[in-house]
Amino acid sequence: MKRRPITWILFAAALIGVLVSDAVPALAAPAPPGAIELPRQDDGAWRCVEVNGQVGLNVRSGPGEQYPVVWERAPGEQFAADYTRLQRAGNYNWVPVRFEDGEGWSITARLSPCAVDTAADVDHDLVLAAVDQDGALDRFEIEAIARSVVLVASVRGTRIFSTGTGTIITPDGLIVTNAHVIDSAERVAVALLEDINDPPEIRYFGEVVGLNREIDVALVAIREDADGRPVTADLSLPYIPASLGADEVFRGDTVTIFGYPGIGDDYLVVTSGAIVSVENGDVNGQRMPVWYRTDAEIAPGSSGGLVVNGNGQFVGIPTFVRSESETGGRLGGIRPAEVALMAVLGEASTGPGATAGATAPVDVIFYGLALDHGAVIDGLPGIALRLSFGLDGWQDRDATVFARFFHDDVRNEPLINLAAPSFYRDETGAVLTVMPITPCCDKTDFEDLTLFVPYIALGLDQAGTYPLKIKVEVAADDASWRRTLSWEYITYTLR
């Protein structure tokens, strides 16, 4: 049997013990006269809600305004609701609710997930306590899951640079994200949701405590609050444990993706789709899924975010988007949660900004990259990579930007074309394109620097579809440092 990391086993055991034993407290009294009799259910169908807004809530004896009001509940008051029996009556959706002194029905528009889940008698298991196992996420469950998803941003000095998404996986504030989201960060800003319809607010700062660039995953630990004060270990944050194995996800599974894509003005964006492909590879001697592909929309800022299935289980981390050069079709890549955490927990932290074999003398800040399929330069059609980044500390010294091409499969072999013009290949025949640069200043921003490779240089002459990926790097010409700026994924179709 395949081993699971101990961390996940502890998460799962703790959650099972909490959720099964005390999901909702026993009722202290029967329903009042006039209230309809509700059938008892397993506690797993009930979850904590609270009255939203500034006015009280009328609880009725049945699902509709024709039923009499039997209880009134104050703003912020918490009790349990069962969304599996939602009914439409009049202009509202209604669900059965229950509390210590009775039961009734409420409109869903006046209910929100509990800020503190007293009904489940836990103080931080807010996510799984609010999700049932019916295979589909309703708006209530989406709102609960969203509380474990954070906006993360690289902080250098007093400036915040590139942003992405992360997921809280422990109640004391351990966050998993993509390595490229926080690469070179001195600190990491962490913004949490207060209201799902508002942008998140920076509540904490953290540091990178684990980093694996090959798998493109990082761990961030919260260290300070927004005012710079050290935080205690008992943060009791809403979190989602990574307890789902990579081999428990299949083609056709429905997935929901949570992230902050940037194009959404820092508002949370939720998209859904299906797993369309599962790809195996070797991890620590085990043959297991290392990528899922999905047709769900993933925007760049959603990298490092959260992918869950219909039961709210942690499927993986959205990591890249691959676009098709002719049709414009797009598939997203998801790194399985199990693979990501095996990689980052199984290795010593390389630390923020570390570079193998050398200490980088410069700061490299990645702003973004746009792919332009079908661009024409000097009369040749090809792929243009329009890159924006900054260099700090390399004034008047030479460097080179590289874009290297690889086959997008588990072997990650370089794309070889010995017949390509010398400018578009190295001495081994591996396809690449380069651009020499010389920063003018101590701090230099390169905006819309264009790398181009014509399609003929790829050397693909058989009709078919070729999944490819491009590694974009910048390196000193004296070989003292090298940084990976981005991985880009494309599909090239030759007819």
Span 436-445, average pLDDT: 90
Span 154-176, average pLDDT: 83
- pLDDT at residue 129 in the model: 57
Quick check: 453 pLDDT over 90? Answer: yes
Quick check: 348 pLDDT over 70? Answer: no
Percent of the chain clearing pLDDT 90 (strictly above): 25
Residue 3 neighbours by CB under 8 Å, 6+ apart: none
**Beta-strand pair 464-476/399-407:** antiparallel
Quick check: 40 pLDDT over 60? Answer: no
**Beta-strand pair 314-324/482-494:** parallel
Q: What does pTM read for this prediction?
A: 0.52
Handedness of CA 209, 185, 231, 268 (dihedral sign): negative
DSSP track, 318-382: EEEEEEETTT--EEEEEEEHHHHHHHHHSS----TT-BTTB--SSEEEEEEEEEEEEEEETTEEE
Distance CA(381)–CA(198), nearest Å, equals 43
Is 124 in contact with 238 (CB distance < 8 Å)? yes
Distance CA(476)–CA(396), nearest Å, equals 12
Span 60-65, average pLDDT: 90
- pLDDT at residue 495 in the model: 79
| Confidence class for position 297, pLDDT limits 50, 70, 90 | confident
Tokens at 237, concatenated: 């944050």
- The tens digit of pLDDT for each residue in 362-400 reads 778 888 888 888 899 989 999 999 999 989 889 888 999
| Confidence class for position 21, pLDDT limits 50, 70, 90 | very low
Distance CA(250)–CA(276), nearest Å, equals 8
Distance CA(243)–CA(16), nearest Å, equals 11
- The answer to which of 57-61, 88-92, 315-319, 326-330 has the lowest mean pLDDT is 326-330
Q: What is the CA radius of gyration of the chain?
A: 26
Percent helix, strand and coil across the chain, each to the nearest 5: 15, 45, 40
Strand segments, DSSP code E, in 84-198 are 87-89, 92-99, 102-107, 111-113, 149-156, 159-168, 174-177, 187-192
Q: Would you give the end-to-end CA distance of the chain in angstroms?
A: 45
**Beta-strand pair 78-81/69-73:** unpaired
Percent of the chain clearing pLDDT 70 (strictly above): 78
Is 86 in contact with 136 (CB distance < 8 Å)? no
221, containing H or E segment? strand 217-225
Span 413-439, average pLDDT: 91
Average confidence score pLDDT of the chain: 77
Span 259-277, average pLDDT: 83
Quick check: 322 pLDDT over 70? Answer: no
Is 482 in contact with 475 (CB distance < 8 Å)? yes
Q: Which amino acid is at 311?
A: N
| Confidence class for position 183, pLDDT limits 50, 70, 90 | confident
Distance CA(219)–CA(427), nearest Å, equals 37
CA–chain centroid gap for 228, Å, is 26
Distance CA(204)–CA(153), nearest Å, equals 11
Scanning 43-92, the segments in alpha helix (DSSP H) are none
- The tens digit of pLDDT for each residue in 88-130 reads 888 788 889 988 778 899 998 888 777 543 333 333 344 665 6
Domains of the chain by range and CATH? Answer: 23-121 (2.30.30.40), 124-354 (2.40.10.120), 363-494 (2.60.40)
Secondary structure of residue 130 in the 3-state scheme: coil
Distance CA(221)–CA(232), nearest Å, equals 12
Residue with the larger pLDDT of the pair 346 and 123? 346
Quick check: 38 pLDDT over 80? Answer: no
- pLDDT at residue 321 in the model: 62
Determine how many CB atoms are found less than 10 A away from the CB of residue 329. Answer: 12
H/E/C letters for each residue in 267-296? CCEEEEEEEEEEEEEEECCEEEEEEEEECC
